[in-house]
Amino acid sequence: MNYQLLGRSGLRVSDLCLGTMTFGEDWGWGAAKEECRKIYEAYRDAGGNFIDTANIYTNGSSEKIVGELMSGHREEIVLATKYTNAAVGFSGKPGTDANAGGNQRKNMVQAVEASLARLKTDYIDLYWLHIWDQITPADEVMRALDDLVRAGKVLYVGISDAPAWVVAKSNTLAELRGWTRYVGLQIEYSLLERTVERELTPMAVDQGMTVLAWSPLRNGVLTGKYLPENAERSRSDGARMHTEMMKGFGGVDASAQTLVREVVTIGKELDVSPAQVALA
């Protein structure tokens, strides 16, 4: 495993980050604890040190499982989690707390404390703003994140799924006021989703931010297993694509099928998997 610096920082992270959105079975699909352990250990054995989760993943179970898996070697892990989306835990019931969601300071403080408890740690290496809420002023967000850094609860901050102008504005504001700036940008990026190359990735280069691609295999589509000719093979796994949580997360239309078949063909010619081709 190779390592690189995270944005304009001295923090070293492995080239491959282990995403844990499917750690836990609370959403009706996902990996059981023992399967999560096998995935985690295989990643660690390969030299990986960068783990990504979120407060909302499998209703908090992902963070709990990651916390258990890190036990005994927490200092070796670069741990990333996220806030913005409402999660069970503040009031005990979803939908009863008007401020249990969004980018604002109150939700941020509540969310980070809840994540620290689930992860069984006293600090988070990289704290992501999960999605831009289009409401909270940039100065409130950046000052609140800076306060978390100064308090030692968070070491670095990043932003996910926000327009380029929001990210650039936020970093410029942070630099002018001496606050902590974003070092990472997390966006959907794959052979089937390249619109980010118009503004987001050039902006990240300009800002010295590391880009982390979520769903680089487009929910498994780029492995070829969801092609019509593989319908029987993917029948059980394909059911998850039709759950409430997966609405809007792609599919295999005619144009996508053409590209995926090209990926599969190249893989056969090079004697590698379609996933290896898609990630190269």
Active site residues: 57
Is there a contact between 183 and 158 (Cβ–Cβ < 8 Å)?
A: yes
Give the per-residue SS3 of 132-182: CCCCCCHHHHHHHHHHHHHCCCEEEEEEECCCHHHHHHHHHHHHHHCCCCE
Q: Tell me the C-alpha distance between 249 and 122, whole Å.
A: 34
Is there a contact between 266 and 52 (Cβ–Cβ < 8 Å)?
A: no
Is there a contact between 205 and 177 (Cβ–Cβ < 8 Å)?
A: no
Is there a contact between 115 and 124 (Cβ–Cβ < 8 Å)?
A: yes
Is there a contact between 3 and 15 (Cβ–Cβ < 8 Å)?
A: yes
Distance of CA 117 to the CA centre of its chain: 19
Which residues, listed in sequence order, are joined to residue 187 by a DSSP beta bridge?
Answer: 213
